[in-house]
Structure 1
Amino acid sequence: SDATRKANKQNSTCFRACKGLFLIVVCLLLVSVGMSMYEKFSNRRVGIGRKISENCWVPSGRKTCAPQFIIAGAMKSGTTSLWSYLLHHPDVLGLMSTQLDPQNLRSVVAEKEVRFFNDPGYTTLVEEYGKAEAISYYLDIFPVIPPPTANSRDLMLMTNKNKITGEATPMYISSPGVAARVKEALPMVKLLILLRNPVDRAYSHYWFRKNLKSTAIDANEFAIAGTT
């Protein structure tokens, strides 16, 4: 009868709709699982690489040497001076960029302090990009140094061959979790830790803060005087 055919048609339409909805849910679940597996696989690559020479460790998925050293230490213990002295050596290269990631969630301070591995910056970057991609952005701020075995027609690239690079972030020494993160991402990096006699360091820090305050006061007085 017409009523039966109409009911069957409605049931068929409902079945197709449910089937379509079921397929959509399955697809979404598969995409979610796939993204989760990709993230886990990417994170497993962190800290994996090849040691080409004593001064060159190439992370997995990259073709150039990772930074070879990190300077850390107490404030006013000479980290900036050591960084400056090292850069005077023709085989030591500074950073290539002061912007760590596309959204500029983290930027380099004083052209040497990347501050990547300490919080809250590290957690923010990992949550935004994932650990593997965040570390990739970190590696991108360093100059391109080809492995000693590299052979390229790019003369500009080959001028960096056998050179080294690194960063200087004093606060790494006092930030929880930094040591484990550095070991995970850069297992072959050399750590240069600077300490100083506590009394001398405190005295130097006192004058550093006092001079900053005096400079600010003098600048304000000069600005006010110049407008009258």
Structure 2
Amino acid sequence: MNTKISFTIAGAQKCGTTALDAYLRRHPSLSMGREKESHFFDRESGVNWRSPDYDVLHQLYDHDAGRLRGESTPVTLFWTPAQYRILAYNPDMKFIILLRDPAERAFSHWKMKHGLGQDPLPFSTAIREGRVRMLDEGAQSMAARWFSYVERGFYARQLNHLASLFGWERLLVLRQDALSARPEAALAQVTNFLGIAPLPVAHEERRNVSPDAEHRIGDEDRAYLNALYRDDLAELRDLTGITF
């Protein structure tokens, strides 16, 4: 029996990956890991990447003969070392990627970290001077994971790198609002991509939806981020047809 994972919901963070994971757990042809985010391939310590023990990963799955194994770790799109490790593990891996307006994604990311007490900086500072934290601590630091509000929004840059390793045919890129507004149509794209039967939507999944009334992105911050993302979004449109 092939125990390898066949696909991953690879990102982007705060773009509906939890809802998609919940939908796919209902499909009888799929087996998702007991933990939503294994964080196996993005570990920077505790794994000998010259000879990794994949049993640690496979133990997250129950007996699932005949079912495709999938997992959801949204940092994968951003964390390029994980992509090389996945290439060594399964060069035929498929990637499902959900995207939303990158300025809104950055704000949602910051709200989560700020609300958890993990970032004391106000949003305006975090997306400007706060980016230096990642340079100070290194590309694979916790700061790069936690405070990459701006960096994770350069979607074309990240997709190009992932496609350079696996090919565009192994990437399915969707807008988050396609899943939330038209879940059956979006899921049809996912199941067709995976080569399995369609999944009827008995009830809609809404996960990790935070109230917007408490904080809203300011006009100045939005204009700043829109200017940063302008060229990347133009390239994203050319690559995928997706616009925001």
Same fold (TM over 0.5): no
TM-score, length basis structure 1: 0.45
